[in-house]
Structure 1
Amino acid sequence: MSQLLETLDKERLAVNPLLKRKSELGQFLTPSSVAKFMASLFDKSKLSKPKILDPGAGIGVLTSAVLERITLEKISKQAEVTAVEIDELLRGRLQTTLGLFEDGLSLKSEVISEDFIEWATNALLNEDSLLEGTKIRFTHAILNPPYKKIMSSSRHRKILRGVGIETVNLYSAFVGLAIQLTEENGQIVAVIPRSFCNGPYFRPFRQLLLEETAIKHMHLFDSRDKAFKDDEVLQENVIILLERGGKQSNVTISTSTDDSFIDYSSNSYPFEKIVQPLDSEKFIHIPTSNEPSFIERYPSVHYSLSEIGVEVSTGPVVDFRVKGHLRDMPEEGTVPLFYPNHFVGTLTEWPKVMKKPNAVFVDEDMKKWLYPNGYYTVVKRFSSKEEKRRIVAGVLTPSSVDYSEVGFENGLNVLHFKKQGIPPELAFGLYAYLNSTEVDKYFRVFNGHTQVNATDLRTMKYPSRVTLEKFGRWVMSNSDIIGQEELDQKLEEIL
């Protein structure tokens, strides 16, 4: 690594504790090793006389990595940089950083002190009155955007809609604006959370990305907490290279354990493996093996939950909203309130000594949130980064508790039919299928965060109802002796 990037790394670590607005702005400064890798992804043939955009530029680590590459590889003798940074503390250091390149390059640089979303949307909205040659456009954009939700009622959300961007997080807003500000055949490199790859909230963003750009390269860090360890970033991040208006072809997928890139490896995949042609949700899969996927190996696994007569909902009881109804232990007038901790394999351990309550008091307000007792498959919504499995399922059986109604807390997904229980064989079959190693691997290909949402389960593929019920009967007959190996082997047999 160069002396300049080493210096910037030290500067990054020094300035981190001083970022008083870090939480407010969602700031995470880029390690120099990551910046250097990101800069290396740009097509060398496109770096002649670049016009570079760096939204949320921080102290200039990303721009420096690009300018250093241009200088060291003697790609161009001139460059233009527009760096947007709202934080005054960072902006002063950013201007100093850019000044270091003025001797080796004919560099035209501008530091914008505005909110990037405000500045970019104004530029796009006002361009109709400008001549074609005066519109703000860039050949390259490189960014590590802030990670923070955008409230639906916020000014940011309103002005983004004005330029056709509908999204729920600052990071996807920044990338969407960078795409619109990049000229045809220009390239964008960004490091962002993997959460955009699936789920309903990011569907408009995926649509924008797939309609306006070609995905050229995606890089995954196998360890969720090491690449940005100084910032305690626990999201699974992906570095993505996009080309505005580019022709979509094969996509390079690369991995490394962390930001040292010592064990870097890459493979090329046809685009059909990244976004399945018939997928209306446009989920973005990131395969890391050339082996056929679970779905490819078992064509019979092609049913949706609705096709097998099952629905899925998030547990309706949000505990902090019904604090007055919660009870540590069951008492007169209460019913069981189930949390993820109550489900261990095929067993329901209730009541249980734990920090969370075990019961909820029932009145007219509470009744609407309850389900009749019955057979239900449940799936934990959240897993910690230490857990081996992403999907962890359990089963509630009516004999587990002697109550006519039960409550499911918001940390659970509940598989049901019209808010009633489902047949026992189907409940146990879904439990076994979802707990299989193959399904966990399949799920991780398109889900990069630790959350399992009802929408994720709704859009997954399942075996037929007949196959699931057969699997369930086997579980019910052998529950005492079933381990992970036996469960996985049985799934292979019945598919």
Structure 2
Amino acid sequence: MRRRPVAISGRADEAATFKKHRCRKKSQLGQFFTPATTAAFMASLFPPGKGHCRLLDAGAGIGSLSAAFLDRWRSGGLGFSRIELDAFELDRTLIPHLSRTLTKYGCDGDLVVNIREEDFIHAATDSLRGSLFSPVLESYTHAILNPPYKKTHNDSAHRLALRKAGIETANLYSAFVALSVALTAPRGQIVAIIPRSFCNGPYYRPFRRFVLERTAIRHIHLFESRNKAFKDDDVLQENLIVRLERNGIQGPVAVSISTDDTFADLTTHEHPFERILLPDDLERFIRIPTSPEEDAIERSPAIRHTLADLGIRVSTGPVVDFRVKAHLRKTPEPGTVPLLYPAHFVGRSTMWPIENLKKPNAIEHNGETERWLYPNGFYCVARRFSSKEEKRRIIASVVDPSAFGNVPALGFENHLNVFHEDKHGLPEALARGLAVFLNTTAVDEHFRRFNGHTQVNATDLRLMRYPSRAALTRLGRWAREQEHLTQTMIDAELATLIA
């Protein structure tokens, strides 16, 4: 471990050197610096305190977050009589900038600054495990962090160290947050800006459980514009700010929203925790409502059925094309069956085969591929990915077997979610009704409120609520009778169905 005293560094070419370093290092370390306005907002989320504050800034960078916290303290907004700051920063070329940032706050006995030039993950996990070769870190009362955004390999030194400390996670940002939680004293406060991706999906399930078992969520802030929180760094994932309280008793959660990091149009609403985490959700998905009012899906007593209630299953398309490359064919030929990609579905129509498609149109039907194929029939499919510019998140289509002729099976590529009955087709009216329901504005708005990412996972669709099987069948029969379907028509028909 190397500790650096706070000192001023003043090279003439410092700014130019720093800019070059920043571009090079952010990809290597997953590091993005916090804008001053965002740092100030994060510091404002801490409730006032008293006595001695032990502050952790894990991955301190140039000290923006620590500075924002100390600014609020020096202005009388926090009430502590003394602060001891541990600022961890592994990148030695940032240490002069970090030192310069923190020097201006002085060290008059009421502030102690420790700049720790060491790997936070190893220091924290060694401390938690009680390693004889590493000093124990005293518990922190407060933590503020913008952790690095980078995946960890399953056999990496970081992943192994985390696993030994009882933390299983796939990304540095979730590792930093989990360790900060573990190092924080009861009633301690943690404020972090992190990608929203941890709220959903199987990869972050262990991390969600770790956090939810040890903390209470007090505040969540969303940026409506996906890329405005770090607009100078080309960060395209959606970020949020969260305040957690160690060992807190969970109560209502404040959710605030602003368009960007100016916070000029900030709005805040309080929601019962049951809207954030559904009581029966075994996946522990964290849902973030963007309005205090319940939407049409939440309000309707007719939309309360799970897919299991309906006897329907949804799965990710099983054909991963690069793994079965030898069996793929550009055009249909004897011994092949259709291979369906999102591009094969346009509106209500199934278009197959498509000439000049960059993807293959067919896959061999043989003993090696049989397990990846479904019997020909009616299915409902939903695209797994949409771009952030698209108007809709959920885009559903009907697979009509008449589009393929007399083929025994179909291949569904991995970019599709497939609704089926035990890997067999659905009754036609049910498949059509399910597609119509998923394409309603009400469903899209509901999904957007609680899912910030552009990926629609099978798990997301499995956790949604649906009308009854009979209601979906009626909706499908109605849709089949219409010569043309518009958004206005399907929205109006859903309203009639669930009224």
TM-score if structure 2 supplies the norm length?
Answer: 0.91
Cα distance in structure 2, aligned partners of 1:340 and 1:13: 46
Mapping of residues 129-208 of structure 1, within 5 Å = 136-208=138-210
Instruction: Name which of 378, 393, 396 aligns with 2:396.
Output: 393
Q: What letter matches 1:141 in structure 2? A: A
CA distance in 2, matches of 1:20, 1:206: 32
Q: What's the offset of the Cα at 1:12?
A: 11
Match of 1:50 among 42, 53, 65: 53
Q: 1:305 aligns with which of 301, 304, 307?
A: 307
Shift of 1:19: 4.3
The alignment partner of 1:229 has SS state of coil
Following superposition of structure 1 onto structure 2, how do residues 22-171 of structure 1 map, counting pairs within 5 Å?
A: 22-45=26-49, 48-73=51-76, 75-76=79-80, 78-102=82-106, 106-126=110-130, 136-171=138-173
1:196 to partner: Cα distance: 1.7
- For 1:227, the equivalent position in structure 2 comes to 229
Q: Distance in 2 between matches of 1:204 and 1:343?
A: 36
Deviations along 1:297-350, whole A, 9 cap, x unmatched? Answer: 112322211221111111111122233333333234332211111111221112
- 2:261 corresponding residue in structure 1: 259
1:481 is aligned to 2:484: yes
Tell me the distance in 1 between the aligned counterparts of 2:133 and 2:472.
Answer: 61
Gaps of at least 5 residues in structure 1 are 1-9
Note closer, same or farther for the CA distance 1:120–1:289 as it changes in structure 2 (3 Å cut): same
Q: Does the aligned pair in 2 maintain the 1:127–1:135 contact within 8 Å?
A: no
Please say if residues 432 and 479 of structure 2, whose CA atoms lie closer than 8 Å, have aligned partners that are also in contact.
Answer: yes
Q: Give distance in 1, aligned partners of 2:142 and 2:19.
A: 27
Q: Is the 8 A contact 1:33 1:259 kept in 2?
A: yes
* 327-336 vs 184-193, which moves further: 327-336
Between the aligned partners of 1:163 and 1:351, the Cα distance in structure 2 is: 53
Q: Secondary structure at the match of 2:474?
A: helix
Cα offset, 1:257, TM superposition: 0.6
Comparing 442-451 with 420-429, greater Cα deviation is found at 442-451
Question: Are the counterparts in 2 of residues 283 and 446 from structure 1 also a CA contact under 8 Å?
Answer: no
Percent identity (aligned) = 53
What is the CA RMSD across the aligned residues, in angstroms?
A: 2.4
Instruction: Name the counterpart of 1:343.
Output: 345
Tell me the CA shift for residue 104 of structure 1.
Answer: 7.2
Could you list the runs of 5+ residues in structure 2 that have no partner in the other structure?
1-13
Contact 2:332 / 2:338 at 8 angstroms: preserved in 1? yes
* Corresponding position of 1:5: none
> 1:414-456: CA deviations, max 9, x gaps?
1112211111111111111111111112222332211111111
Residue of structure 1 equivalent to 2:451: 447
Task: Say if 1:314 and 1:411, in contact at 8 Å, map to a contact too.
Answer: yes
Are the counterparts in 2 of residues 195 and 447 from structure 1 also a CA contact under 8 Å?
no
Equivalent residue letter for 1:484: Q
C-alpha distance after superposition, 1:155-214 (max 9, x if no partner): 333322222222222211111110111111110001111122222222222222222111
Task: Tell me the alpha carbon deviations over residues 388-429 of structure 1, each in whole angstroms, 9 at most, x when there is no partner.
Answer: 111111111100112222211111111112211111111111
How far 1:363 sits from its partner (Å)? 3.9
What amino acid is aligned across from residue 65 of structure 2 in structure 1?
Answer: L
In structure 2, the partner of 1:236 is 238
The answer for the alignment partner of 1:458 in structure 2 is: 462
Instruction: Answer whether contact 2:124 2:137 (CA < 8 A) is retained.
Output: no
Q: Contact between 2:398 and 2:432, CA under 8 Å: does it hold in 1?
A: yes
Tell me the amino acid that sits aligned with residue 349 of structure 1: M
| Map of 2:319 onto structure 1 | 317
Q: 2:298 aligns with which of 296, 299, 303?
A: 296
Stretch of structure 1 that moved more, 29-38 or 202-211: 202-211
Question: Counterpart of 2:232 in 1: which secondary structure?
Answer: helix
* Aligned-pair CA distance for 1:230: 1.8
In 1, are the aligned partners of 2:337 and 2:411 still within 8 Å (CA)? Answer: yes
Cα deviation 1:26-80 (Å, max 9, x = unaligned): 222211111111011011235x532111111111111111111111236446321
Of 189-198 and 350-359, deviating more is 350-359
Report the CA distance between 1:14 and its aligned residue: 5.2
| Matched residue type, 2:155 | S
Cα deviation for residue 135 of structure 1 reads 5.2
Q: 3-state SS of the aligned residue for 2:49?
A: helix
Deviates more, 1:231-240 or 1:328-337: 328-337
Q: Distance in 1 between matches of 2:380 and 2:21?
A: 45
Contact 2:433–2:479, Cα closer than 8 Å, also in 1: yes
| Aligned length in residues | 482
Greater shift in the superposed pair: 300-309 or 186-195: 300-309
* Matched residue SS, 1:284: coil
* AA in 2 matched with 1:69: R
Are 2:301 and 1:333 equivalent residues in the alignment?
no
Conserved 8 A contact 1:54-1:142: yes
Q: Does the 8 A contact of 1:71 with 1:105 survive in 2?
A: no
Please give the secondary structure, in 2, of the residue aligned with 1:364. coil
